[in-house]
Amino acid sequence: MLQHGNDAGHPAHSSGTSRRRFLTAMAGGGAAVAAPALLTGCGSAQAKGGNLQFWNFYGPQRSPDPAINAQSKWFTDMVDRWNATHSTKIDLVYLPQPTYLNGFKLPSAFATGEGPDIFLCSPGDFLRYYNGGVLADLTPHMEKAAVDDFGSTLDSRKVDGKVYALPMEVEPLAMFYAQDVWEKAGLSEADIPTTWDQMLDVGDKLRTKTRAGLVFETNPGYYQNFTWYPWMWQGGGDVLDERGEVAFDSRATRQALALWQDAVHHGIAPRTVPAAGDVIGGFKGGNVALWQQGIWNVSSFKAFAPDFPYGVFRLPVPPGGKYVTALGGWSFCANAQGRNPEAAAEFCVWALGSMKDESIDRMVDWCVGAKSDVAPRDTALERGAAKGGYDSEVMRKFKDEIFPGGRAEPRYPPVVYKAISDAIQGTMLAGRGVDGETERAARSISAYTKSYKGASLV
């Protein structure tokens, strides 16, 4: 999605065998596990020479979605600019988004010695690759002013004060709602829910046989966990406390699991996401009243439904709770064992982490041009605001009301993620008891952390 600095020990860089074992064991990321035939290699690209490869899910490509085309062009323009001014050249390698997000192609590539030189890394995958020894230290290429410019958004991308990933965006979660549905039901701005009970009541009032009153993510994966964490955090709960001790077995965890379970049980939230996950299509088709989603959808509404009346509001809170939302966002990383780690690291900093105007403006173009995000650098956020990138009502709300209460997505490794995911799926969709699933997940996480060796999990 990353909220705390790290003070744990160093990863086991000295042993190619341990690095290989870690990466192949984690290759599925809760989705698919690498086959035995893939358990060879040293966990990094071995081929030397030739152009550097930058694996991504944005481009180059052509799409009927103008937002996707704009994002693809941002990538190609960036790499073209680098190639025109540097002797080491870079090739963009496009992977379909589902393959990149939930497949095992990327971790398996590292496990078999064919990992990319530059790649996009999600917060949830940071420790997989750091502990696997494949993240290059970007700090030597950065000015102190640039590190300071990123501020706390770098905290979870650091280990022992060193930067290993550079965020390109910050993506807060909020509640999206269909204003036409809202108004037809006789609701007004005064009815915007601020508590969980009010949210369930509104969802219940707005649902029909063909329209979901309230949508939570139902597909298991890092993304579902990411969208669930705020509901636990709001009640003061956590997976691990500040010392790294397991804290999952708590009242806050139980009430967050119960919230999603009750919403599904009472028919307010569906068991599968509407419109096969097409947020814009779901709203335009009248199939959704409320949907927990992220800021990235603002650009999609602008591209595909510029006249559709929708609004956003902060995630409601439980009794006695405190507002928190989750902050996601992808980062550029360089392969420490690739063809040219120095050039790959230099590229990441040149692209996103330099104090030069070109680097700052590139991030502005991404966050309020090609896409709709909060910029992770103070200078880029200021320039984006000056350009009018946050002038619309929705973007202003994200920047001024929703983002300030944010907490970055945790960087839990796959074993921890899977225990939480199983608890969410088991309670939300399988109807299993909240107490039992909470206790089972806590035991699983505790057993893992006792033998865990690597960078701090918090």
Burial 118-149 (b: 16+ CB within 10 A, else e): bbbbbbbbbbbbbbbbbbbbbbebbeeebbeb
Q: Which pLDDT score, from 0 to 100, does residue 61 have? A: 60
Strand pairing report for 406-408 and 325-328: parallel
Q: Which element (helix H / strand E) includes 70?
A: helix 66-85
| Rounded distance between C-alpha atoms, residue 227 and residue 421, angstroms | 11
pTM over 0.85: yes
* Averaged pLDDT score across all residues of the chain: 88
- SS3 string of 419-445? HHHHHHHHHHCCCCCHHHHHHHHHHHH
Residue 67 has phi, psi (to 5 degrees) of: -65, -45
What Cα–Cα distance (Å) separates residue 71 from each residue in 58, 59, 304? 6, 8, 15
Q: Which pLDDT score, from 0 to 100, does residue 196 have? A: 98
**Alpha-helical segments (H) within 161-245:** 179-184, 196-206, 222-234
Q: Which pLDDT score, from 0 to 100, does residue 98 have? A: 82
What are the structural domains of the chain? 16-170+329-392 (3.40.190.10), 171-327+412-451 (3.40.190.10)
Q: Which pLDDT score, from 0 to 100, does residue 67 have? A: 80
| Cα dihedral 225→384→136→171 (10° resolution) | 0
Collapsing DSSP to helix, strand or coil, 370 comes out as helix
Q: Which element (helix H / strand E) includes 407?
A: strand 406-408
| Rounded distance between C-alpha atoms, residue 66 and residue 69, angstroms | 5
| Rounded distance between C-alpha atoms, residue 250 and residue 272, angstroms | 27
Q: Which pLDDT score, from 0 to 100, does residue 164 have? A: 98
Q: Which of 413, 409, 403 is nearest to 457 (CA)?
A: 413
Q: Which of 143, 225, 145, 129 is nearest to 425 (CA)?
A: 225
**Cα 102-165-220 angle, rounded to 5 deg:** 20
pLDDT beneath 70: ranges in the chain: 1-49, 59-63
Q: 3-state DSSP helix/strand/coil percent for the chain, to nearest 5?
A: 50, 15, 40
Q: Which pLDDT score, from 0 to 100, does residue 65 have? A: 73
Q: Which of 257, 287, 286, 254 is nearest to 272 (CA)?
A: 287
pLDDT in tens, 44-103: 334 445 899 999 999 666 667 788 889 999 999 999 999 999 999 999 999 988 888 777
Neighbours of 17 (CB within 10 A): 10
Neighbours of 369 (CB within 10 A): 19
Contact 370, 70 (CB under 8 A): yes
**Cβ-count burial of 102 within 10 angstroms (0-12 exposed, 13-18 middle, 19+ buried)?**
middle
Q: Which pLDDT score, from 0 to 100, does residue 104 have? A: 81
| Rounded distance between C-alpha atoms, residue 123 and residue 120, angstroms | 10
Q: Which pLDDT score, from 0 to 100, does residue 406 have? A: 95
